[in-house]
Chains A and B, each alone.
Chain A
Amino acid sequence: MNLHEYQARTLLKAAGIPMFEGDVASTPTEAEAIARRIGGTVVVKAQVHAGGRGKAGGVKLARNPAEAMDEAAQILGMTIKGLTVHKVLVVPAAEIVTESYVGLIMDREAQCPVFMVSAAGGVDIEEVAAKTPEKIVRLPVDPTYGLFPHQALRLAFVLYRDFTQVKAAARIMEQLYAAFVNNGASLAEINPLVTAPDGRVLALDAKVVIDDNELFWRPDLGVLRDDSAEEPSEAAARRANLSFIKLDGNVGCVVNGAGLAMATMDLVKYYGGEPANFLDIGGSSSPEKVINALKIITADPHVKAILFNIFGGITRTDDVANGIVAATRQFKVDVPIVIRLTGTNEVEAIRILEGVGMRALSDMDQAVQQVVQLARGAA
């Protein structure tokens, strides 16, 4: 789960990491009040889960509270990469002497949290990683022991020479590690970590991603989820416990298992079609899940045909068949449905479908070719 910048700031601040003041606003008036409190020039930043906010006009400088109000009025409600801006963050346009990068990520290869620190911060860190990887210092942390003091110091010495600043940066490393662990993060990033003209070391911008698997037992983190920041169909799918991603094509896909779902999308493309979505109904599927899946897919006007690709293992294909029948009774599905199912209880599933005049195929390639053709004919 991605957090907004303002939410990430709150978590890091709670861990003790020093930051410039700043606050989040939902209305231009609130933005004005925050700008007045901060004083001087401020930056008004759109809070959406999309990169390239600046280029899209979602980050603006304001020299006084009145300008902050105007800029907030412009930014609030605007759309960046399909997502509507509902909140802006107002922070001081701080004067800074140096900028560096501090990131902490759960690394799959090292199988532990790994610090990445670079004095070349502020700019695009991916570019630094690609072009001059030697400028990034990596340090794996054994989660059994946590970050040792000497490791924090070593990281801080990458960024600073002055020992007072080294100690301040080392403390921030420790605080960032604590925030990462305590919030079940898979990524926690300060970019940039800056030096103020008076020599203080502060975090200017923060990014935190929470491991979705932590949310089940951490309701305190779950409330940070911002439904309005997601594609509406994706939010609806998540509430229905479906793994769903909206795409641009016209072939709706309902599949069990993430790997098979990806392979199905690939096969749709292989036969000249364009998938409209990724959808994994998961292992133990109930008819209810199938109904929800069909609701979400048929809500997309671009969908011209729907493919079910079910390989029954734990998933009972008769459950899926019952779901399809129940869904088509509940609401009208205007586009053709192609059903491929094989595996657990397939005889029963085929009987259920044939009872309402539907057919089921057993071959994946045949089903995909058919659905691609139907979508093309309708387009």
Chain B
Amino acid sequence: MSIFVDRDTRLLVQGITGREGSFHSRQMLEYGTAIVAGVTPGKGGQTFESRVPVFNTVDEAVRATGANVSVIYVPPMAAAAAVVEAADAGLPLVVCITEGIPVMHMSRTMPFVRGRGVRLIGPNCPGLIAPEARAKVGIIPGNICSPGRVGMVSRSGTLTYEVVNHLTRAGIGQSTCVGIGGDPIIGTNFIDCLRAFQNDPGTDAIVMIGEIGGTDEQNAAVFVREHVTKPVVGFIAGQTAPKGRRMGHAGAIISGSSGTAEEKLAAFEAAGIGIMRRPADVVDLLRSRM
């Protein structure tokens, strides 16, 4: 079992003919994901990799193929509009990989997305992957994942791969790995994923990978204390980061007292979340708690 995506996922790729979109669509197809449609305005009628029909609009693609999830590889300036188009077409789940979207674009987009009852994952995220269902939506390398019963939720990309790799090598498989993204405004947060993992019968334990900046991890810790009965272990990146400096992710800014690593680790501790001092700790820590 898994969260957000499964065997019934029928994926649509926005920006399928672009450089990033075509590269990752091939990877997703290779992994076994059911890509049923692509969208690139002006390229409707083409066929991608001689098997995926390309449409001009998301609406047209959804009506023709019954797609139920969209993944977006559209350049930053058009990405928020692509999210709106997907939400407007009635897709219940939209995953936006694009990095570099102006925050104001997302601020204007979120009320619309929420109004349509759509779950947005990202932007500026690696997407998600459910190994058992062979559903890869985004850019997480399939070869480092393995089917199993640990749920992963993370704000970063390559750091997620690092931790997943430790799990897989130790023989601990994953139900779903979700990268929620590093931007200040994102559609799905830690709590949304924790709730889904708690309710997922296919998940026995949860790994949470956070970062400095913001209060998402602290809020998540409170949620864990009150609502999560499954074991949770966590990591916070940026423990040695200097205050007030931007560390690549727009979200990872420490301002004032809110968002430091110490504050987040204290919140984890208070919620009974097992604290990983290093990425490699994930294996022993999980084993001691499962």
Contacts and interface: CB of A to CB of B under 8 A. Distances in A.
Interface of A: 106, 108-109, 111-113, 126, 129-130, 142-144, 181, 184, 186, 211-214, 216-217, 243, 245, 247, 255-263, 265-270, 275, 278, 280, 283-284, 311-315, 342-344, 364-365
Contacts of A266: 237-240, 278
Contact of B212 (A184, A262, A275, A365): A262
B245 to A, nearest CB: 5
Contacts of B280: 364-365
Nearest to A269: B240
A247 B243 CA distance: 12
Interface residues of B, number: 60
A109 B186 CA distance: 10
A109 B101 contact: no
Contact of B76 (A216, A265, A280, A313): A216
Contacts of A186: 103, 184
Q: Is the interface of B mostly helix, strand, loop or mixed?
A: loop
Contact of B158 (A181, A256, A278, A365): A256
Contacts of A267: 278-279
29 contacts: A109-B215, A111-B185, A143-B107, A143-B108, A181-B104, A184-B102, A211-B104, A213-B76, A245-B246, A245-B247, A255-B158, A257-B248, A258-B156, A258-B182, A258-B249, A258-B252, A259-B158, A260-B159, A262-B212, A263-B235, A265-B240, A265-B241, A266-B237, A266-B278, A267-B278, A278-B247, A311-B161, A315-B158, A364-B162
B76 to A, nearest CB: 7
Given A143-B108, A275-B240, A263 B279 contact: yes
Contacts of B242: 245, 247
Given A213-B101, A259-B158, A263-B162, A111 B107 contact: yes
Sorted from nearest, which 6 A-B pairs have the closest CB atoms?
A259-B156, A258-B248, A257-B158, A259-B159, A262-B237, A260-B158
A325 to B, nearest CB: 22
B18 to A, nearest CB: 13
B103 A213 contact: yes
Majority SS of interface residues in chain A? mixed
Interface in B139-160: 139-141, 144, 154-160
B209 interface: yes
Contacts of A312: 141
A263 B99 CA distance: 20
Contacts of B248: 243, 257-258, 261, 278, 280
B165 interface: yes
B250 interface: yes
